[in-house]
A and B are shown apart, each in its own frame.
Chain A
Amino acid sequence: MNKESKLYVVLFTFIISFIFIFVLSLINAYTIEKIELNREFSKVKAILSSAGIQFFDKKDALEKFNNLFIKKNINGVDFYIVDREGKEIFVYVFSGNGLWGLIEGAIATNKTVDQIIGIEIIAQNETPGLGGRIEEEWFKEQFKNEKLSGSLKLIYTGKQGDDDKTNSAVDAITGATLTSKFFVKIINDSIEIMRSALRSE
């Protein structure tokens, strides 16, 4: 058969595409559950880590989430509440605008909302390597146990992270000032929502 004939070109393209797409769909079918699970799991994981609860693997995390947390709607706001060492911790799942797209995450505070227990990111689309670094441990670590007087401020230390837990401030990410500003705004908005919901409780 002539290699350059129309029939051959069409047949060849069709068969090759078919084979490749078939293989891809097999691989996809095999992994889709895992990917889907990873996605669902990232929310559970975020809620657990924001409240400072350790877990070993997915199964353990789901178990702890189902056993320890109570989902409760208080004044129109959904909270995940967990009792830890006699103190109630309130977790709120937030979503707000970053520089490029939505940033979703979980924030945990005490009942009077004057101290952050921790934060965790579920999904973000900031520039990889710059704004995307809000997912890095040192950045999230700054929020852990931070005392809140009024709202959270952004400071520029020139180092990596602000260790002072009483100044109600976090260090911006070097090279990603805008994302840091947007992120702190999202956190402050979330704190406001939590305060107004829990005040009348």
Chain B
Amino acid sequence: MIPDLNPLLLFFASVFTSNILLSNFLGMCSFISISRDFKSSNGLGMAVTLVMTITTVLNWIVEKYIIVPFGLEYLRYIIYIIVIAAIVQILEMIIDRISPNLYISLGIFLPLITVNCAILGVALFMQLRNYSLIQSAFFGFGSGIGWWLAIVLLAAIRLKVDKAPVPAPLKGVGITLITIGIMAMAFIGFAGMINVQ
């Protein structure tokens, strides 16, 4: 049964209140290493949003028309990851053909994305929660935007923090984690904006 949730509410919740990165910790690896550089963060965020939206929708279709009718539930993880890898490959080729400029700013991040936990995570959440196609699309897009927002914000903060006089053992990863923690606390505040009738 499909839950009766407003797609816009899902979008809002996945960007702010339950940001895929800040509350589910998905996509941390590339998040910490890439956020050192503001420009790359922006590029990666854009790429993640694009791939996440497309793969969530596509995995929804694959789930409904291939996995369930053929009883392949036990191979779900492999199928999802193959779909994601294939989409990343195709996007890389398309972007390379259409716009070499975009390829330089976006394309180099694409191979990183196949193993980004957030992409697979969103697909698995979508399947588990039984969303409709529209809900999945909004959820995927919202999670992507949320990830993008989080990495751009962190990169901007890190521009300043990296120059601050932080205790030596805490430099780099340590202080970054504390920064992310404070960001996560701020984002929790958005929960008050959702009304439960």
Contacts and interface: CB of A to CB of B under 8 A. Distances in A.
Interface of A: 21, 24-25, 27-28, 32, 95, 97-102, 125, 127, 177-178, 181-182, 185
Chain B residues touching A, majority SS: loop
A178 B191 CA distance: 8
A127 B75 contact: no
B23 interface: yes
B153 to A, nearest CB: 22
B4 A97 contact: yes
Contact of A127 (B5, B18, B196): B18
Given A97-B5, A100-B129, A182 B196 contact: yes
B23 A101 contact: no
B71 to A, nearest CB: 9
B194 A101 contact: no
Q: Could you say which of B3, B13, B78, B128 has the most chain A C-beta atoms within 10 Å of its C-beta?
A: B3
B130 A102 contact: yes
Nearest to A184: B196
Given A102-B130, A127-B18, A178-B191, A24 B196 contact: no
Contacts of A181: 196
A10 to B, nearest CB: 16
Interface string B124-143: 01001111000000000000
A27 B1 CA distance: 28
Contacts of A97: 3-5
Interface string B57-78: 0000000000000000011001
Interface string B182-197: 0000000001001011
Given A24-B74, A95-B1, A127-B24, A101 B196 contact: no
A169 to B, nearest CB: 16
A184 to B, nearest CB: 9
Contacts of A178: 17, 191, 194, 196
Contact of A101 (B18, B128, B197): B128
Nearest to A98: B3
Contacts of B130: 101-102, 125
B191 A177 contact: yes
